[in-house]
């Protein structure tokens, strides 16, 4: 799921400084699951805004804020949504922009979209996939070096690993040491030696 | 004889490295370089430890004008494939053939934490790219007007565990076209003899890196760098020395002396104390 984090309160306060009436839209998928857009987060945000002199006209949880069809169906006929000066979004950037696209309203997105996370347990997420559009997992024993190597090296490690950990962070495993251990176990080091992964075709835009 | 040709000889090769200045005053750099005129080649680092400095290309060219053969370091960290290829061609038109291809220290722990890293090509891809340019085409498949010629080097870290993985990477970089290697610093030649013997099979010259420990404080700094492991006995010698610099010079020359018995050469990292390199080499010859 998309892992989001809450923006600092002073930043939120600054971004609502020019508006009086607000409507909160939260996402029932990823943001709700990682605790940044669940009912508790909505209630806290509502209380904070009201304490700071804002009027919250209402709130709606979309099943998935990134689904423009749902945004259209659940929001456009809501009077309070239409009346509000601005919409405060508790969703990832895809969700916020879907709501902007279908409504044209002023959007105040109060979460930062961090990464696609795999859940180890609630609150502990691992960044395994960078949704790069050119998967190398077949070649790299199911462990992604593009995402899990700090330098995105796809043809093997740098010289900075120390006892299996990354030079950038001693608490992080070196992706290439993990891949290597698996290659060794599966008798594929020879394959690694001969394998060459071409430069990636980037499709950023 | 050029460095590229020396790689084919039996000569014990000695290289060192210089850091470009942070700012436009090049006089200390040139002063340090003047002590290195008798070396086989001198590396110029590329924004090492992800700091911001004068480019390797400019300072490499200045070395060349002094009669010193430069090895331009090129980090994949800061440039995309357009800029990397362009830099390689620029080097060649300025008379620089030797390039040492590295991934580059990650900015995470340095003065530019938070900068956008590039890593568009990895080191294996970058070695192959330099070799591709020599065939007269670039990565886009376009024909070059005038064909460059390089002597391509790469790095290997003998002290990174598991070092079997480093040995595999060594072989992979050789297959990609690396002609010589310089290593991260070691402080005990014999500790890594087995590793050097193992990778010797591929018959590519490897110059192990040695570092001059100039003070107790510097040793403490070194210890914190990625991949650096200073043996206890070396630490004890520096800590108890009345003149740590003299002791550091001695340790450095002893390591080089040991390397002379089985290695292809040595890469000396004196980190600002290059004026002592001739003395280190003299002592290692005794």
A89 phi/psi in degrees, rounded to 5:
-105, 130
Neighboring chain A residues of B104 at a CB cutoff of 8 Å:
151
Residue A18 CA, distance from chain mean position: 28
Neighboring chain B residues of A173 at a CB cutoff of 8 Å:
none
Asked if the Cβ–Cβ distance from A196 to B176 is below 8 Å, we say: yes
pLDDT at position B228 over 90: no
- Longest CA–CA span in chain A (Å) reads 67
Is residue A65 a part of any domain in this protein? yes
- 3-class state of residue B30 by DSSP: helix
Final residue of a structural domain among A52, A80, A115: A115
Token digits of residue A82: 């239409």
pLDDT at position B227 over 80: no
Helix B163-176 vs helix A175-185: crossing angle, to nearest 10: 90
pLDDT of amino acid B182: 98
Asked if the Cβ–Cβ distance from B124 to A156 is below 8 Å, we say: yes
pLDDT of amino acid B145: 98
Quick one: chain A helix, strand, coil %, rounded to 5?
35, 25, 40
What is the C-alpha separation between B5 and B196, in angstroms, rounded? 22
For chain B, give the mean pLDDT: 96
What proportion of chain B, given as a percentage, has pLDDT over 70?
A: 99
- Below-70 pLDDT ranges, chain A: none
The answer to whether residues A88 and A156 belong to one domain is no
Asked if the Cβ–Cβ distance from A193 to B160 is below 8 Å, we say: no
H or E segment at B43?
A: strand B41-44
Range of the domain at A165: 133-194
- What are the helix (H) ranges across chain B? 3-6, 27-33, 56-65, 81-93, 123-133, 163-176, 193-199, 216-223, 232-240, 244-260, 277-285
Measure the CA angle with vertex B284, ends B280 and B285; round to 5°.
Answer: 120
Final residue of a structural domain among A115, A143, A164: A115
pLDDT of amino acid B191: 87
Asked if the Cβ–Cβ distance from A153 to B184 is below 8 Å, we say: no
pLDDT of amino acid B75: 98
The answer to whether residues A99 and A38 belong to one domain is yes
The answer to whether residues A46 and A86 belong to one domain is yes
Token digits of residue B259: 């390397």
Evaluate whether B172 touches A159 at the Cβ level (below 8 Å).
no
When divided into structural domains, chain A yields a total of 2
pLDDT of amino acid A31: 98
Task: Please give the interface size between A and B, counted as residue pairs whose CB atoms are below 8 Å apart.
Answer: 90
pLDDT of amino acid B140: 98
The answer to whether residues A146 and A183 belong to one domain is yes
Mean pLDDT to the nearest integer, B140-152: 98
Q: Touching check for B128 and chain A: CB below 8 Å?
A: yes
Distance from CA of B202 to the nearest CA of A (A): 14
Domain positions in chain B = 3-212+265-275
Taking CA–CA distances from A202, the nearest residue in chain B reads B120
Is residue A164 a part of any domain in this protein? yes
The answer to whether residues A61 and A104 belong to one domain is yes
pLDDT at position B107 over 80: yes
H or E segment at B144?
A: none
Residues 6+ apart with CB under 8 A from B36: B16, B18, B42, B68, B274, B277
Give the nearest partner residue to A159 out of B81, B117, B157, using CB atoms.
Answer: B157
H or E segment at A88?
A: strand A86-90
Substitution target in B109, B154, B160, B184 with the highest count of A β-carbons within 10 Å is B160
Q: Are strands A111-121 and A124-129 parallel, antiparallel or unpaired?
A: antiparallel
Mean pLDDT to the nearest integer, B35-47: 98
Is residue A178 a part of any domain in this protein? yes
Asked if the Cβ–Cβ distance from A155 to B162 is below 8 Å, we say: no
Asked if the Cβ–Cβ distance from B119 to A152 is below 8 Å, we say: yes
Measure the CA angle with vertex B79, ends B106 and A143; round to 5°.
Answer: 55
Q: Touching check for B117 and chain A: CB below 8 Å?
A: yes
Asked if the Cβ–Cβ distance from B226 to A151 is below 8 Å, we say: no
Asked if the Cβ–Cβ distance from A156 to B169 is below 8 Å, we say: yes
Cβ neighbours, 10 Å, residue A192: 22
Helix B123-133 vs helix B163-176: crossing angle, to nearest 10: 20
pLDDT of amino acid A14: 97
pLDDT of amino acid A84: 98
Final residue of a structural domain among A80, A115, A150: A115
The answer to whether residues A173 and A101 belong to one domain is no
Is residue A128 a part of any domain in this protein? no
Distance from CA of B184 to the nearest CA of A (A): 8
Measure the CA angle with vertex B110, ends B106 and B111; round to 5°.
Answer: 130
Q: What ipTM goes with this model?
A: 0.94
The answer to whether residues A47 and A86 belong to one domain is yes
Q: Touching check for B76 and chain A: CB below 8 Å?
A: yes
Asked if the Cβ–Cβ distance from B122 to A189 is below 8 Å, we say: no
The answer to whether residues A110 and A42 belong to one domain is yes
- DSSP states of B247-259 as a string? HHHHHHHHHHHHH
The answer to whether residues A102 and A186 belong to one domain is no
Q: Touching check for B81 and chain A: CB below 8 Å?
A: yes
From the number of C-beta atoms within 10 Å of its C-beta (0-12, 13-18, 19+), residue A201 rates as exposed
At B109-122, the pLDDT tens digits run 789 999 999 999 99
DSSP B274: G
Is residue A16 a part of any domain in this protein? yes
What is the C-alpha separation between A133 and A153, in angstroms, rounded? 16
Is residue A190 a part of any domain in this protein? yes
The CATH number of residue A12's host domain is 3.40.50.2300
Q: Touching check for B171 and chain A: CB below 8 Å?
A: yes
pLDDT of amino acid B224: 83
Here the contacts of B195-201 (C-beta below 8 Å, separation 24 or greater) are B195/B158, B195/B163, B195/B166, B195/B167, B196/B158, B196/B262, B196/B263, B197/B262, B198/B167, B199/B156, B199/B167, B199/B170, B199/B171
Mean pLDDT to the nearest integer, B149-178: 95
pLDDT of amino acid B229: 80
Which of A14, A189, A27 has the alpha carbon at shortest distance from A92? A27
Token digits of residue A187: 């008798």
Neighboring chain A residues of B125 at a CB cutoff of 8 Å:
155, 198-199
Is residue A167 a part of any domain in this protein? yes
Question: Residue for token digits 């949704």?
Answer: A131
pLDDT of amino acid B109: 78
The count of residues in chain B is: 286
Is residue A120 a part of any domain in this protein? no
Neighboring chain B residues of A152 at a CB cutoff of 8 Å:
119, 122
The architecture of the domain spanning B3-212+265-275 is: Alpha-Beta Barrel (3.20)
Mean pLDDT to the nearest integer, B94-111: 95
């Amino acid at each position: 799921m998309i892992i989001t984090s809450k923006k600092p309160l002073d930043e939120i306060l600054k971004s609502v400084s020019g508006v009086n009436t607000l409507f909160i839209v939260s996402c029932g998928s990823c943001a709700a699951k990682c605790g940044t857009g669940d009912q508790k987060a909505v209630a806290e945000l509502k209380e904070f805004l009201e304490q700071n002199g804002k009027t919250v006209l209402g709130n709606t949880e979309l099943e998935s804020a990134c689904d423009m069809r749902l945004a259209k169906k659940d929001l456009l006929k809501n009077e309070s949504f239409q009346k509000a000066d601005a919409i405060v979004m508790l969703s990832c950037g895809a969700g916020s922009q879907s709501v902007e696209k279908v409504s044209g309203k002023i959007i105040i997105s109060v979460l930062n979209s961090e990464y696609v996370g795999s859940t180890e347990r609630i609150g502990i997420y691992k960044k395994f996939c960078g949704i790069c559009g050119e998967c190398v997992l077949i070649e790299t024993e199911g462990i992604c070096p593009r995402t899990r190597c700090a330098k995105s090296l796809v043809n093997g490690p740098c010289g900075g690993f120390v006892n299996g950990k990354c030079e950038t962070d001693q608490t992080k495993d070196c992706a290439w040491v993990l891949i290597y251990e698996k290659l060794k176990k599966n008798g594929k080091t020879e394959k690694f030696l001969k394998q060459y992964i071409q430069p990636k075709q980037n499709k950023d835009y | 004889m050029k460095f590229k040709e020396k790689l084919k000889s039996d000569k014990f090769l000695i290289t060192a490295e210089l850091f470009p200045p942070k700012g436009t005053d090049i006089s200390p750099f040139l002063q340090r370089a003047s002590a290195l005129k008798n070396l086989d080649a001198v590396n110029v680092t590329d924004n090492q430890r992800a700091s911001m400095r004068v480019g390797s290309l400019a300072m490499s060219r200045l070395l060349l004008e002094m009669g010193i053969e430069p090895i331009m370091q090129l980090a994949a960290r800061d440039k995309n494939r357009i800029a990397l290829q362009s830099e390689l061609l620029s080097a060649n038109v300025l008379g620089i053939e030797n390039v040492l291809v590295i991934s580059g220290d990650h900015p995470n722990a340095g003065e530019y934490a938070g900068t956008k890293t590039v890593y568009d090509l990895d080191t294996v891809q970058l070695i192959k790219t330099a070799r591709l340019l020599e065939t007269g085409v670039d990565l886009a498949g376009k024909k070059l007007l005038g064909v460059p010629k390089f002597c391509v080097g790469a790095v290997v870290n003998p002290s990174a565990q598991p070092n079997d993985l480093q040995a595999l990477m060594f072989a992979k970089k050789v297959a990609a076209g690396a002609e010589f290697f310089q290593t991260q610093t070691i402080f005990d030649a014999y500790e890594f003899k087995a590793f050097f013997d193992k990778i010797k099979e591929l018959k590519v010259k490897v110059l192990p890196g040695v570092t001059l420990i100039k003070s107790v404080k510097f040793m403490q700094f070194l210890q914190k760098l990625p991949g650096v492991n200073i043996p206890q006995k070396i630490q004890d010698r520096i800590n108890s020395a009345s003149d740590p610099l003299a002791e550091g010079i001695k340790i450095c020359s002893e390591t080089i002396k040991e390397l002379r018995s089985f290695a292809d050469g040595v890469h000396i990292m004196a980190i600002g104390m290059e004026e002592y390199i001739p003395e280190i080499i003299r002592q290692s010859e005794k």
